[in-house]
Amino acid sequence: MTEMTDTFAAPYQISDRFRKVVEARIERLERDAEEDIRLIPTLLSEDHKRRQRLLAISQIEQAIHLRVRLSLTEAYAGDPLASSFQAFA
């Protein structure tokens, strides 16, 4: 059996722009899940209600997953490529 390695040992560095994109996706997933949950009582078919609940659960799970991943990040200062090139100068 293979042991799992800790892939989250060091925080990932991401740009502010990418952070905003991920945060917008999280907000959209949560908003869509709320809307889908509100829709459930209006549906007639029990199977449709079940699928709608599964959809909302999936959206909530994705939002939670993204929030956890985002919490393991930090913003990098400046342009990472520029600092890499300075090392060779």
**Residue-level pLDDT at 12:** 78
**Residue-level pLDDT at 83:** 53
**Residue-level pLDDT at 13:** 86
Cα–Cα distance, 33 to 40 (Å, whole number): 11
Mean pLDDT, each 10-residue run in order, the chain (89 residues): 53 87 97 98 97 98 96 75 52
Per-residue DSSP letter, 8: T
**Residue-level pLDDT at 62:** 98
Q: Please state, in angstroms and as integers, the Cα–Cα distance from residue 1 to each residue in 4, 5, 7, 9, following that order.
A: 10, 13, 18, 22
**Residue-level pLDDT at 51:** 98
Q: What is the pTM of this model?
A: 0.72
SS3 category, 69:
helix
